[in-house]
Structure 1
Amino acid sequence: MPKVKTKSGAKKRFTLTGSGKVKRKHAFKSHILTKKTTKQKRALTHVTLVSSADMNRVKDMLNI
């Protein structure tokens, strides 16, 4: 039976922490930044964790 491939989009967007949680970046930080406040853009800079509701779905995409 062949190996199961990782979803390449998920591979680029998520990274695993040492404890097995999944890190992600915030959305809305790539373009149309002129209308967003500096405070809003600064808050979107920080990395956060995937919510527990989505954790199983993301791990399935990463084949973990």
Structure 2
Amino acid sequence: MPKIKTKRAAAKRFKVTGTGKLKRNKAYRRHILTKKTTKLKRGLRKPAMTDSTNIKNMKKILPYL
């Protein structure tokens, strides 16, 4: 069987934690920041875990992570 190619766009956006979960950065922090509250922007700094409903698809496009 041939090797499965990793989707490079996804590989650049996700990291695997020690327990095997997928870590990602949050969206909505690139531009138009003036109308967003400081509290919201501070919350967007922290990474988030990928939702359990997406894990099956993520394992398919990131076979070697």
TM-score, normalising length: structure 1:
0.88
Question: Which blocks of at least 5 consecutive residues in structure 2 are unaligned?
Answer: none
Question: Which blocks of at least 5 consecutive residues in structure 1 are unaligned?
Answer: none
1:41 match: 41
Shift of residue 48, structure 1, vs aligned partner: 1.2
Quick one: percent identity of the two aligned structures?
A: 50
Shift of residue 59, structure 1, vs aligned partner: 1.5
Root-mean-square deviation (Å): 1.2
Q: Post-superposition, which runs of at least 4 consecutive aligned residues in structure 1 deviate over 4 A?
A: none
Shift of residue 62, structure 1, vs aligned partner: 0.7
1:7 match: 7
1:18 match: 18
Matched positions, count: 64
TM-score, normalising length: structure 2:
0.87
Partner Cα distance (1:11, 1:3) in 2: 16
Shift of residue 50, structure 1, vs aligned partner: 0.5
Partner Cα distance (1:2, 1:44) in 2: 40
